[in-house]
Chains A and B, each alone.
Chain A
Amino acid sequence: MKKLFITGLLALTTAAWAQTTVKVEDAWVRGTVATQKATGAFMRLTPSANARLVEAKSPVAGVVEIHEMAMENDVMRMRQVPGLDLAAGRTLELKPGGYHVMLMDLKQPLKAGEQVPITLVFEDAAQKRFTQEIKAPVTALGGGNAPMPMNHGAHKH
């Protein structure tokens, strides 16, 4: 019991010590047409240690939220979620049919090929906040759900 406690304490300390980073891959944003005010950003997140995505910001949107989409009895329901827990080394995919970063109150239409800067705000295991800047390429609205494979969202640490 005591050993378990110490091991746990050690693990916590190590986690807090080493700076947690989150690898962000294949980020993309669905393009919009003029006067369309909202769209979604999708990506894959893999943290080096347990972390939580708590917020996202972008200069192209007045409001950014983390949303979850679910189908219940053929009804699509979309809800804001307060955050997404990320387990160490495990990839969480934000993709159509699940989670997305919802960009609302868009300031301009997003055209295919443009890059959307997004700031992801995470909390590490010690609830210390850290941010990561990414640039997500815009995929043509009618161009399907597949992101352009050659254009990964840059992951800076």
Chain B
Amino acid sequence: MHRTPSVSSLSSAVLPRRQALGWLAAGTALWLTGCERVSTPASGSAPAFRGIDITGASYARGFSLTDFNGQRRSLTDFRGRLVMLYFGFVQCPDVCPTALTRAAAVMEQLGPQAADLQLIFVTVDPERDTPELLRDYMGSFHPSFLALTGSADEIRRAADEFRVYYKRVPTGSSYTMDHTALSYLFDRQGRIRVVLRHEQTADDYTADVRALLAESAA
């Protein structure tokens, strides 16, 4: 019975799993806002972020993927600069271009300091998002934006590390991707610090980037 399932049979067969994944996604959100929220050291100098402060979290520690130029990339490559990480896909008409447009606005607001921020987009649709497409796509938002891809397994491992949910959803003759739309912000030492939500503005993002840039460089 390994025929390709139709949309309707898929939804009925997959429902329990989908529910479970839904709970998992809900759990992730809870985790982010609740139990796992680790406060910054009680030094009194910790900056107040507009995003969710997850300093010291035991997840979102890093990645090892391939960029659109075929170069292997991990977090340590960007030591000394901030990294903003976002998971998405190119055939996304709404949330991903909105996030990337916002990231470009952040670069604009930062002025010369923009050189200290690296935006990294991780595709959750490596099958359709070829390196060439990713390069063209990112370049239309900002010349410095980087995109990472990998095998289906590698992408799954990276997403799991960030507790990012994504799932392929059939639509007509094609498919779309449901995915977590959070942005992860690392400090100059490569430590995960802040998670920003999609509803937040470019001003919010810039404020948190500036707060991290203001911390003493390692």
Interface positions of A (Cβ within 8 A of B): 30-31, 33-40, 63, 65, 67, 69, 71-80, 96-97, 100, 102-105, 140-145
A37 touches B91 (CB 8 A): yes
A96 touches B98 (CB 8 A): yes
Residues in A whose Cβ lies below 8 Å from that of B90: 36
**Which single member of A35, A69, A104, A105 contacts B95 (CB below 8 Å)?**
A69
Please measure, in the bound complex, the distance between the C-alpha atom of A103 and the C-alpha atom of B26, giving whole angstroms. 30
Please measure, in the bound complex, the distance between the C-alpha atom of A37 and the C-alpha atom of B133, giving whole angstroms. 10
29 contacts between A and B (CB under 8 A): A30-B97, A33-B139, A33-B140, A34-B132, A34-B133, A36-B136, A37-B91, A37-B128, A38-B91, A63-B174, A65-B171, A67-B176, A73-B25, A74-B25, A74-B28, A74-B180, A74-B181, A75-B165, A75-B179, A75-B180, A78-B94, A78-B171, A78-B177, A80-B172, A104-B174, A142-B100, A142-B104, A142-B142, A145-B101
Please measure, in the bound complex, the distance between the C-alpha atom of A106 and the C-alpha atom of B133, giving whole angstroms. 14
Please measure, in the bound complex, the distance between the C-alpha atom of A75 and the C-alpha atom of B177, giving whole angstroms. 10
The A contact surface, by secondary structure, is strand
A141 touches B181 (CB 8 A): no
B182 at the interface (CB under 8 A from A): yes
What is the CB-to-nearest-CB distance from B176 to chain A, in angstroms, rounded to a whole number? 5
Please measure, in the bound complex, the distance between the C-alpha atom of A34 and the C-alpha atom of B133, giving whole angstroms. 7
Please measure, in the bound complex, the distance between the C-alpha atom of A76 and the C-alpha atom of B178, giving whole angstroms. 5
Please measure, in the bound complex, the distance between the C-alpha atom of A37 and the C-alpha atom of B171, giving whole angstroms. 14
Contact with A along B128-155 (1 / 0, CB 8 A): 1010110011011110000000000000
